[in-house]
Amino acid sequence: MNLRLLAVPYDSGNHRARMGAGPEALLQSGLESALREKGHDVQTKIAELAPGSWQAEIQTSFELMRMLSKAVRDALATGRFPIVLAGNCNTAIGTLAALGDVGVVWFDAHADFNTPDTTTSGFLDGTAVAIITGRCWKQLSVTVPGFKPIADERVCLIGTRDVDSLEGRLLAESNVDVIEPSKVRSDLSRALNSMSQHVESVYVHLDLDVLDADVASANSFAVSGGLTIDDVEYALGEIARDFRLAGVTLSAYDPAADTNGAAGRAAIRLLCTAAALADRA
């Protein structure tokens, strides 16, 4: 399969800081060669803002989304499947803007469903799914070329377990499907069948902290009670059976938190699995 890896090495708009170091760490750890060994043709592009262009977290993060929208569109135009390596989950807005009419399967320990009115941390990345579903940052999100909010019924969160109280109320009032870690093998088929009534293709978002912290320490936000690598691969197989994969993101890997290398190895394994499933479609 022809792949294009799109690395966005930024965290909160800061170059190579914290999780922003993850994309290039995965490249240096052999991601490209691992994919090539599976028979894929791989091209890589790395997003770079102009030196001195950082203004503020929100402004810079949305500029990266706009850049990514164009980069994903360019990949698709040349017949290449886009795999985004991102520091932050909010890059999904840029990716989705280029993918068109798709659903969203969101693997993450966190719901990312806060809005500026509910967040207590002020972390923009914790609003990613709220932006995707049109709940906040509306004026900025429309500046991302091609972005349109996605209906709740087309969004499924998998492995979510660390949710703020006000965020949880918003999520409970929504029609977003949430599959808790312990119910992935029992409830996923139902959720995917429901989504299949609305879309034929999906964007798969893999925040690496969906994995149990004892399996792999992906970042400083990793928590226990999560999925195993086998659980994620099972879920990816179920998704690919029912939908065409339109694009994949691996986000939120902080190599500084990965003291034994398990998270990096897991990331490469899961991306190889996702690429194989996309190729099979």
Quick one: CATH architecture of 2-280?
A: 3-Layer(aba) Sandwich (3.40)
Over the stretch 141-185, which tens digit does the pLDDT of each residue have? 999 999 999 999 999 999 999 999 999 999 999 999 999 999 999
Q: In the prediction, which pLDDT does 269 show? A: 98
User: What ranges make up the beta strands (E) of the chain?
Assistant: 2-8, 10-11, 14-15, 41-46, 81-86, 103-107, 155-158, 177-179, 201-207, 244-251
Contacts 24+ apart (CB under 8 A), 73-80: 73/98, 73/145, 73/146, 75/4, 75/6, 78/2, 78/4, 79/2, 80/2, 80/3, 80/4, 80/43
**C-beta neighbour count of 134 within 10 angstroms:** 15
pLDDT by residue (tens digit) across 80-135? Answer: 999 999 999 999 999 999 999 999 999 999 999 999 999 999 999 999 999 999 99
Residue 270, φ and ψ in degrees, nearest 5: -70, -35
Pairing verdict, β 14-15 and 10-11? antiparallel
- Do 9 and 46 touch, CB atoms closer than 8 A? yes
Entry pTM: 0.97
51: confidence class by pLDDT, cuts 50, 70, 90: confident
Q: What's the whole-number average pLDDT of the chain?
A: 97
User: How far is 234 from 228, CA to CA, in rounded Å?
Assistant: 10
On the question of pLDDT at 281 being above 80, the answer is: no
